[in-house]
Amino acid sequence: MAIPYTQPSMALVRAVDGTFISYPFIEDGDATTKVYNLVCTQRASDYNAAQIALDDNMGSANNAGVIDLPSGWADSNAYFVGDTGHTPIAGGMISFTRTFANIPQTTTISSGSAFVTFPGISAISSPSATIGMTSLAMTSGVRGITVTSSSTHGLTTNDTVFIKMDYTVNGESFLHSVTGSFKVIETPNTTSFRVDVGHYWGEQVTLNLDNGKFFEAPYNRDQISINVSTQTRYDYILPGITPWVSSVLDINMPSTFAVVYEQTGQINDTAFDTFTAPGPITVIGTIPDATEYTAMINDEANIVIESSLSEWAGNILVQKTKTCKAR
């Protein structure tokens, strides 16, 4: 009787056809990060889930726990994130996918819109007169709408105006109504200014003003909730590999933006400057104060509205930081 014979190599992990490299973030502008997917076979009775440890690198075939790596695959910056897809196959063998991944690059992408509550602003200023509008215009390829005023406006770039206006486009019956505070983009002359009211066209159109008026807003307002566009930054962290991070507890999450009293740190819903009240009593303002927060709006500073930490693959974590422009 013939003695059954099994090749000793069947006890070892072999990368076979179907092995491939993927680029999961290429659509986000990261063409460097690779995920190595090794389709492997091994005798089922010899499979050892602890053969290699999470975070072991793929600098060599021995590190990867396979007989051989495909040519050019050795990558000491790719880390083991797990074996998956275990499937029995003929001859007492097992098939599975062994995956190694680079730590992805930081990317920032659009993340839709969200309703965000912005602080109130309390600044000492004199009220301005309301001025009427005589016409509206737009120029294809140029941001915003140009407003012509019925009298000299006295505005400069980055001033804030409160607008109420209704208009139609190309004589259509649909009446667009705009109400709110907007930053002045440009002042071509003393009777015109340009603002972005959130209406965009891909070609030249005619804007027909139905009615409109505005006044310079000193950014005195109550706390306000606005639907705004957001973007999210994705930072990838591998504890023990990423500098200064030995464990997940070393990761500090970005703080959500808030206005606080300068001397106590207590959160306040309104930004205001230090001022002297009757007495005289000096009332300490906030951080940021009204002047500083108005400057943040004018500079289009990005503020943190949300952050989180979760697992991406294996022990590689992803820190998500959602931001929007100060409003």
Same domain, 294 and 318: yes
Q: Which residues pair with 97 in a beta bridge?
A: 39, 84
Whole-prediction pTM value? 0.78
pLDDT value of position 95: 97
Question: 2 lies in a domain?
Answer: no
Contacts of 233 (CB under 8 A, 6+ apart): 106, 107, 108, 320, 321, 323
Q: Which residue type does 294 have?
A: T
Same domain, 282 and 318: yes
Answer positive or negative: Cα dihedral of 73, 78, 83, 87. negative
Q: Note whether 113 and 130 are same-domain residues.
A: no
Residue 160 is predicted with a pLDDT of 85
- Which residue shows structure tokens 């207590």? 266
Residue 274, pLDDT score:
79
CA 195 vs. chain centroid, Å, equals 25
pLDDT for residue 87? 96
Per-block mean pLDDT, blocks of 10 residues, the chain (327 long): 53 93 93 97 95 96 96 96 96 96 96 96 77 96 95 90 95 92 92 95 94 83 92 96 94 95 90 74 82 87 96 97 96
Range of the domain at 263: 108-117+223-325
The torsion of the CA quartet 169, 172, 177, 182, rounded to 10 degrees, works out to -10
Q: Looking at the domain assignment, is residue 274 inside a domain?
A: yes
Residues 112 and 261 in one domain: yes
> What is the pLDDT at residue 264?
87
Strand partners, 233: 108, 321
Residues 245 and 113 both lie in one domain: yes
pLDDT per residue as tens digits for the range 53-111: 999 999 999 999 999 999 999 999 999 999 999 999 998 999 999 999 999 999 999 99
What letters, b where the CB count within 10 A reaches 16 and e where it falls short, cover 121-146?
Answer: bbbeeeebeebebeebebeeeeebbb
CATH number at 140 reads 2.40.30
- The C-alpha atoms of residue 294 and residue 249 are separated, in whole angstroms, by 36
Same structural domain for residues 170 and 204? Answer: yes
Query: Same domain, yes or no, for 113 and 238?
Result: yes
- For residue 125, the model assigns a pLDDT of 64
Q: 70 and 22, same structural domain? A: yes
112 and 229 both lie in a single domain: yes
Encoding tokens for residue 60?
């060599």
Task: Indicate if 91 and 112 belong to the same structural domain.
Answer: no
Domain count, the chain: 3
Residues 92 and 163 occupy one common structural domain: no
The angle formed by the CA atoms of residues 319, 249 and 254, to the nearest 5 degrees, is 40
Q: Please report whether residue 259 resides in a domain.
A: yes
Look at residue 3 and tell me if it is in a domain.
no
The Cα angle at residue 37 between residues 36 and 38, in degrees rounded to 5: 110
**Residue 111 confidence (pLDDT):** 96
Q: What pLDDT sits at residue 263? A: 83
In tens, the pLDDT along 7-36 reads 566 789 999 999 999 999 999 889 999 999
> Is 1 a member of any domain?
no
**Quick check: 37 and 102 in contact, CB under 8 A?**
no
Q: What are phi and psi of 66, to 5 degrees?
A: -125, 165
Instruction: Say if residue 231 is in the same domain as residue 112.
Output: yes
